[in-house]
Structure formats: structure tokens, C-alpha cells
Amino acid sequence: MAKRILIVEDDTEIRKLLEDFLRAHGWGVTGAEDGRVASAVLHAEKFDIILMDMMLPYKSGETLIAELREDASVERSRTPVIVISARSKLDTRLEVLRMGADDYIIKPFDLEEVLVRIEVVLRRLHEQEDSTEVLSFGGLQLDVQGNTVSFEGQELKLTAKELQLLKLFLKNPKKTFTKANLYESVWDDAYCYEDNTINVHISNLRNKLKKAAGADIIETVWGIGYRLCRQEQDT
């Protein structure tokens, strides 16, 4: 069965270009020309991944991402989102990542690059689903096959990238990861020193874990990177 992708793009020419290209590569494609249509489609159907512009009529891409991440369906709320936008400012990209996007591609783009980015995001997600492991740390549990995270029985809503980062920490509880380690493991790409993507996703993940646990679970090792908190490891 073909994987399903939703393309949210108000530029008809760009949307048609993406639709035709991805259909030719075996994807089941649904297109939405504005935010209002996309919102209705997302409530009615499920997709493996979403390609989304930010500057949309009626309802912005930012609003759509927020709605998706807050959806009552855990499965739907974790649907990976790749943003494709002409807005290239670093602050804009970082804010979109903070909101829960999994990747950001700047227009104009190369179609082959879009396909590779999709494959990378989904491959990492499916690696989690194919495992039967349950990873534990204190009261935290990550069911890799079920793609769920809970703290003392209370389920947490994490994005696909946050899940991948947490899995890496839980699999290596005594390791201190550099930003390059994390980026190359989770994004499957070479790390760029000026790229703040890791900071954004780690910050989001730490805040969610701290809210659930009442204490930090991931700590910063200044000048090196990040690791699971020592006090948890020693208990």
C-alpha cells in the first residue's frame, strides 16, 4: 500500500510539481490549496507525512502545526511535518522547529532533495516502530514498537524528532552527546556549526520531560553537549 502524503501549498504550480513528482515515486498524494482545506483534511484522514508551506490563505502553517501537535489522537499528533517555505531567516526556521516541525526546506528547492528529506524522516520513525524494546530511565518509559513515551504511566506527546532524540539518550544512558553526534544520528546529515536545530529540539524535549517529571532528565554538559542527568543514573 502506497504511503500517503499531504501537500499543503497555495501556489498551484508548485503544488502540482510536488504532487506529480511524488506520485511518480509511488506516493499516494493529497493536495490542499489553503490552510482551511488542509485543516479539514487532517481531521478527516491520516497521513504518513505532511509537506507544508507557512504562508497560506485562511489559516497559516504555524496554526496548522499547532493544531496537529495538540490533536487528541496521539497517532495523528505525531505525524511528521516538513516545512517548505521561502522564508529563510534563521529566527523563522527556529520558531517553526520549536512549534513541532521535523524539518525545514527553503524555496527554491530541488525535488530530489525533498524526496531524500522525506525518506530520512520516515526511516528514523520506522526504525523505532520496528523495535520491540521498552527503554526505561527512572519513571520514564519509551515503548519503541508502540512509539509511545510515558512518565509513571502518564503518556507524553512528543514529536517524531523528539522521540528519536530521547531514544538515543535512553539507549546510551552514560554517554555525553555532542551536537554533531545528535544531528548526524537523528537527521542523518553532516552537522553545520551555525545550525541551531539541535538546540531547539533539545529545548522542547527537555521542557516536556521536566513538566512531566518535575525535574530535569536531560542536562547540558557545558562545552561538550547533552546527557541524561547523573543523579538519575546513580539512583
Give the domains, in start order, of the chain with CATH numbers.
Answer: 4-127 (3.40.50.2300), 131-233 (1.10.10.10)
Task: Give the pLDDT band (50/70/90) at residue 130.
Answer: low
Q: Which three cell numbers stand for residue 106?
A: 527553503
Among 141-145, 155-159, 224-228, name the one with the lowest average pLDDT: 141-145
Q: What is the pLDDT of residues 60-69, one digit of tens each?
A: 999 999 999 8
pLDDT at 42 over 90: yes
- How much is the pTM? 0.66
Do the Cβ atoms of 202 and 165 come closer than 8 Å? Answer: yes
Give the closest residue to 32 by CA, choosing from 1, 11, 4: 11
Q: Give the bridge partners for 32, in sequence order.
A: 8
Averaged confidence pLDDT in the chain? 88
Residue 47 carries which side chain, given as an amino acid letter?
F
Phi, psi of 226 (to 5 degrees): -140, 155
Which amino acid, residue 207?
A: N
* Main-chain phi, psi angles of 17, to 5 degrees: -60, -45
Residue 126 in this model has a pLDDT that exceeds 80:
no
Q: Check whether 214 has a pLDDT greater than 80.
A: yes
CA atoms of 82 and 184, how far apart (whole Å): 18
- Measured CA to CA, the distance from residue 5 to residue 21 in angstroms comes to 12
Comparing 83 with 196, the larger pLDDT belongs to 83
pLDDT value at residue 118: 95
Q: Please report the DSSP string for the chain in residue order.
A: ---EEEEE-S-HHHHHHHHHHHHHTT-EEEEESSHHHHHHHHHH---SEEEE-SS-SSS-HHHHHHHHHT-S-HHHHT--EEEEES---HHHHHHHHHHT-SEEEESS--HHHHHHHHHHHHHHHHHHHT---EEEETTEEEETTTTEEEETTEEE---HHHHHHHHHHHHSTTPPEEHHHHHHHHT-SPPPTT--HHHHHHHHHHHHHHHHHSS-SEEEETTTEEEE-HHHHT-
Mean pLDDT is lowest, of 83-97, 156-170, 172-186, for 83-97
How do residues 139-152 score in pLDDT, each as one tens digit? 899 987 777 899 98
